Chain A
């Protein structure tokens, strides 16, 4: 079964609006990564979070790791058409021994 739950599955956003995608696990995570896959492309690494409560920013993207290290979020402000794609979280625990990807949030931006 899915060990990393990602919501929402789809996100339709008006250009200029903000949105957030969430990644949740019932297990404490050692780290979490975020990837972006453009339509027809391959996943591209965005960020890695390791510390409890960690917050990292990349221009309009803000990534957060929960205090309990069981969830993470990606918040995009002032969405642009270039933000179109699917955003995946990928999480690791020592017991899993492998990076588990969430199902992804497919983002569609309406001009």
Chain B
């Protein structure tokens, strides 16, 4: 158990819909990262936050948005869903400033868009 909690674990929805994925980082971790992993693919960096502020963006679509709240949990919002958005979405956290130490990954939220 990494200490990072992601909900929901599985989500099935239809094209055009909107979903929200939630992440609770490890206690005390200030940095949160979101990654997308499609079937048999690598980890595509989406976005990272540090203590509530966005610090870096990757190839995140305009239909996607995220935020980190004062209690440090984070949410990833995916809208106007397309079939190609089906993937495993991982949240990770780390203790200090972004990219200064190991990432602790949650178990992921598997999104299926039908």
Contacts and interface: CB of A to CB of B under 8 A. Distances in A.
Whether chains A and B associate is yes
A104 B106 CA distance: 18
A43 B45 contact: no
B16 to A, nearest CB: 29
A43 B45 CA distance: 14
B56 interface: yes
Interface stretch (A58-66, A74-82, A91-99): A91-99
Place the interface of chain A in its size category.
Answer: 20 to 34
B85 interface: no
A101 B41 CA distance: 11
A88 B102 CA distance: 13
Contacts of A42: 2, 90, 105-108
Query: Which secondary structure characterizes the binding site on chain B?
Result: loop
Place the interface of chain B in its size category.
Answer: 20 to 34
Nearest to B42: A103
A33 interface: yes
18 contacts: A35-B103, A41-B107, A42-B2, A42-B108, A44-B105, A45-B103, A48-B102, A90-B43, A90-B103, A92-B99, A98-B45, A98-B48, A99-B99, A100-B45, A101-B44, A102-B42, A103-B42, A104-B43
Given A43-B105, A103-B41, 13 more contacts: A35-B103, A42-B2, A42-B107, A44-B105, A45-B103, A88-B42, A90-B43, A97-B55, A98-B56, A99-B45, A101-B35, A101-B42, A101-B43
